[in-house]
Amino acid sequence: MKIRYLLGGACALLLLLPLRAVAENIAVDPIEWDYGEVELGESGSMSFTIESIGPVTALNVYGIYMLDDSGAFQIASVTHVETGTELSDPYARNLPLGEHMEIVAEFTPTYFGLFEGQILIVSNALNFSSFYIPIQGEGAPYEPGPGELMEDLIDQFDDCVAEGALWGEGSGNAGTAHLEVFGGMLDAADDLIGLGDIDGACRQLDHASVKSDGVTPPPDFIGGACTGTINTMIGVVMETLECD
């Protein structure tokens, strides 16, 4: 209570005035977020921090809510940083000056295109009693890596040989040897990709490409209805590896 005296003449008037409340305020970081492109079947994660910045009284967080009609955004966890306590919905917490809460929000797209949502933080903060964090992300097509593409290529090669749609060029033992050598090139490229030797893998794939492109010289090592498919798949792997 603040006391104020008004003096006038021989008497004094005593006024009792209420003290103004000390402001409690909130700070949030970051105040917006773009998850960018996330492949279908994958998730992106981001941490947001709430800080009680006073200047004196505690911040009361009444609830944290995900506003998203699509279901692509989810609150994965909310933690009181100073104690490591994981909070449960609605994630209410009393935060003394200088203490923090961490929100982990995930984005898991369910289709191609743009998704938008908001994280709403409701508190007794005088600066932002309802704090909205805009978030967005984009669902992107799944793009297999070179290792997975290489496995698909080898499986296709094996299936074509088993079906009689791919064979080694040359008569007798020469044809058999050419088919084995070609398959060995693919296996070697697969092993080198696994070892991270991209240059070595590119050399093996380049040798296999010129031995299956239908252009001579050099003569092709393989023939049959699957030859064009195998050569195209080799090119896709080389493009993914960014071979020269």
Please tell me the predicted confidence (pLDDT) of residue 10.
42
pLDDT for 23 equals: 64
CB 230 within 8 A of CB 212: yes
What is the length of the chain? 244
Q: How far is CA 165 from CA 12, 111, 161, 225, 242, in A?
A: 111, 37, 6, 5, 29
pLDDT value at residue 22: 53
Two structure tokens written together for 85: 């306590």
Angle of the 146-162 helix axis to the 227-241 helix axis, nearest 10 = 170
- What pLDDT shows up at residue 143? 81
Closest by CA position to 145, among listed 240, 235, 230, 232: 240
By C-alpha distance, which of 137, 127, 121 is closest to 49?
121
Q: Which segments in the chain show pLDDT lower than 50?
A: 1-21
C-alpha span between 27 and 45 (Å, rounded) = 21
Cα separation of 157 and 160, whole Å?
Answer: 5
Q: CA triplet 80, 84, 85: central angle to 5 degrees? A: 65
Decide if domain 24-140 falls under CATH 1.10.1280.10.
no
Question: What is the pLDDT, as a whole number, of residue 138?
Answer: 97
Phi, psi of 58 (to 5 degrees): -75, 155
| Domains of the chain, residue spans | 24-140, 146-241
| Closest to 230 (Cα-Cα) out of 136, 174, 163 | 163
Output the pLDDT for position 6: 41
